[in-house]
Amino acid sequence: MSCANDYSPQLRARGYRMTPQRMAILHVLHHTGRHLSPVEVYEQARHELPSLTETTVYRTLEFLAENGLARQALTGSGHLRYEIARHEHHHLICRGCGNEMEVEHELIKSMYQTIETESGYKLTDSHLTFFGLCPNCQ
């Protein structure tokens, strides 16, 4: 689980410590490379930390998202999924086959700037998911 140690300085800088629960969950998110539901995180993380409870996973995922170590995303069905926070990006999901691809934030950065200018809001966190049909399903 050494990869999760990369996140310890970020937690310590905010006054938090790296607990075994946080370590196990960060390890799962870091090595999966895709969005996971809290249940999927729980099922994978409990292999490394058998005493882990599902409630702790939900609370820890919220904590990690609030502290910028994980990102939340809503699926088309409205369920929350999580991934490790590496770089700002969005997603494009095929309604036919479920294939998913990342959309780099740079492609829609100007839209964000327009929203901030027009609304007066300062966007601090966001994640967009676009839905459509991939070339194979069209």
Across the chain, what does the average pLDDT equal? 87
Q: Identify whether residues 76 and 11 lie together within a single domain.
A: yes
Dump the DSSP string for 52-90.
--HHHHHHHHHHHHHTTSEEEEE-TTS-EEEEE--S-EE
Q: Is residue 138 part of a domain?
A: no
Q: Is residue 137 part of a domain?
A: no
- Are 38 and 61 a contacting pair, CB within 8 Å? yes
Query: Lowest-confidence range among 1-10, 15-24, 29-38, 97-106?
Result: 1-10
The mean per-residue pLDDT over the stretch 81-104 comes to 82
- Please tell me whether residues 80 and 96 are part of one structural domain: no
pTM: 0.72
Same domain, yes or no: 128 and 74 = no
Same domain, 11 and 79: yes
**Tally of structural domains, the chain:** 2
Tokens 């729980």 locate to 42
Say whether both 50 and 110 belong to one domain.
no
Query: DSSP assignment, residue 36?
Result: B
Q: Are residues 74 and 98 in the same domain?
A: no
Range of the domain at 124: 89-132
Q: What is the CATH number of the domain that holds 119?
A: 3.30.1490.190
pLDDT digit string, tens, across residues 13-72: 999 999 999 999 999 999 987 789 999 999 999 999 999 999 999 999 999 998 889 988
**Long-range contact list for 10-19, CB < 8 A, 24+ apart?**
10/67, 10/68, 10/69, 11/67, 11/69, 14/67, 16/67
- Beta carbons within 10 angstroms of residue 106's beta carbon: 9
Coil/strand/helix, residue 103:
strand
Q: What is the reported pLDDT for 134?
A: 93
